[in-house]
Amino acid sequence: ALFFMLTVVVACLLRPAWGGDKIEISWRARWQTLPDLGPPLIIFIVVIGSIYAGLATPTESAALGVLMALVLTAWKRRLSWMMLREALEGTMRTTAMIMLILIAATFLSFVVTSIGVGRQVTEVITNSGLTPLQTMWLIVALYLVLGMFMESLSMMIATVPIITPVVIGMGFDPVWFGVLMMLLLETALITPPVGLNLFIVQGVRSRGQIRDVMIGSSPFVIALLAMIGLLVFFPDIALWLPRTVG
């Protein structure tokens, strides 16, 4: 988030027109908008606070966040049966989609493990003479190239059962690799020519070509690449929070 904030600031300083028209707002109006931040802040404190206090697991804290959202919605008198129905239907659709993906991933992982692909790839890389760091950079380059032509979810399902045993076999932390994988998948979402988020942004624009969206995403791609480089060289950036939570 800090890298993206810096990217926006630097881009607007170099190209002021990218920031749009300046909006003048008084300090009084700013203070009047602060109460609107209350409900999201309360939910954030409940979710993160329950984890840090040891009162709930991440899954349980997510349920507490949903419960708090319902309480706040009812307190503002905006809760209705129609809203609950739409929320439950959306949750069921998302859950069904995730379960289908997990079933497919489990089946693929079973097949890959049964035929020994992961073990063979691990042996080939181990006997190649490359250092673990050099191998990791090759894996990063592989995901960056695949991200240009594959959808991120398909890429993850197809490669994780093969790549993960290699990474763990070289002594890398699986939690660290999971964070690195998320950054690589986020990069794939905004990398042309098949970046899904690029087409979403183009779809909500009223005019212009998708080439403009691709050019506009380039600073954020650079920021993501910088974050990936920092994670590779300084793994503790990704491991500090899990170690703190325990």
Please write the tens of the pLDDT for every residue from 36-78: 888 899 999 999 999 888 888 888 999 999 999 999 988 888 8
Residue 203 lies in a domain: yes
Q: Please check whether residue 70 lies inside any domain of the structure.
A: yes
Residue 151 within a domain: yes
CB atoms within 10 A of CB 156: 21
Q: Specify the pLDDT at position 153.
A: 76
Residues 133 and 31 in one domain: no
Average pLDDT rounded to a whole number, residues 202-223: 83
Region of poorest pLDDT, from 4-13, 20-29, 74-83, 171-180: 20-29
Tell me the mean pLDDT in the region 15-38. 80
Task: Flag whether pLDDT at 234 surpasses 70.
Answer: yes
Shared domain for 158 and 238, answered yes or no, is yes
Classify burial at 223, counting beta carbons within 10 Å of its beta carbon; exposed 0-12, middle 13-18, buried 19 or more: buried
| Global confidence as pTM | 0.68
107 lies in a domain?
no
In a domain, 207, yes or no: yes
Give 235-246 pLDDT, tens digit per residue.
Answer: 888 888 777 766
pLDDT of residue 43: 92
Query: By C-alpha distance, which of 160, 219, 204, 161 is closest to 185?
Result: 160
- Domain contains 196: yes
Average pLDDT of the segment spanning 142-163: 80
pLDDT tens digits, 115-129: 776 667 667 776 777
Residue ranges making up the domain that contains 31: 25-79
Highest-scoring range by mean pLDDT, 93-107, 111-125, 128-142: 128-142
Q: Does pLDDT of 82 surpass 80?
A: yes
CB burial class (10 A; 0-12, 13-18, 19+) of residue 100? Answer: exposed
pLDDT at 117: 66
Residue with the bigger pLDDT between 149 and 133: it is 133
How far apart, in whole angstroms, are the C-alpha atoms of residue 146 and residue 155?
7
143 and 48: one domain?
no
Query: Are residues 240 and 180 part of one domain?
Result: yes
Q: Examine the domain organization and report whether 159 and 210 are in the same domain.
A: yes
Where is average pLDDT lowest: 81-85, 102-106, 157-161? 102-106
Looking at the structure, do residues 136 and 208 belong to the same domain, yes or no?
yes
Please report the pLDDT score of residue 122 as a whole number.
Answer: 67
CA separation for the pair 75, 84 (Å, rounded): 15
Task: Give yes or no: residues 53 and 128 share one domain.
Answer: no
Residues 67 and 120 in one domain: no
Do residues 64 and 121 share a domain? no
Whether a cis peptide bond, with omega within 30° of 0, leads into 193 is yes
> Tell me: the pLDDT tens digits for 177-197?
999 999 998 888 888 877 778
CB 198 within 8 A of CB 217: yes
Q: Percentage of residues in the chain with pLDDT exceeding 90?
A: 12
> Same domain, yes or no, for 243 and 136?
yes
Is the domain of 57 the same as that of 143?
A: no
Write down the pLDDT at residue 201. 81
> In the predicted model, is pLDDT for residue 175 greater than 80?
yes
Total domain count for the chain?
A: 2
Whole-number mean pLDDT of the chain?
A: 83
49 inside domain: yes
Q: Are residues 150 and 241 in the same domain?
A: yes
Does residue 105 lie in a domain region? no
Q: What is the structure's pLDDT at 54?
A: 83
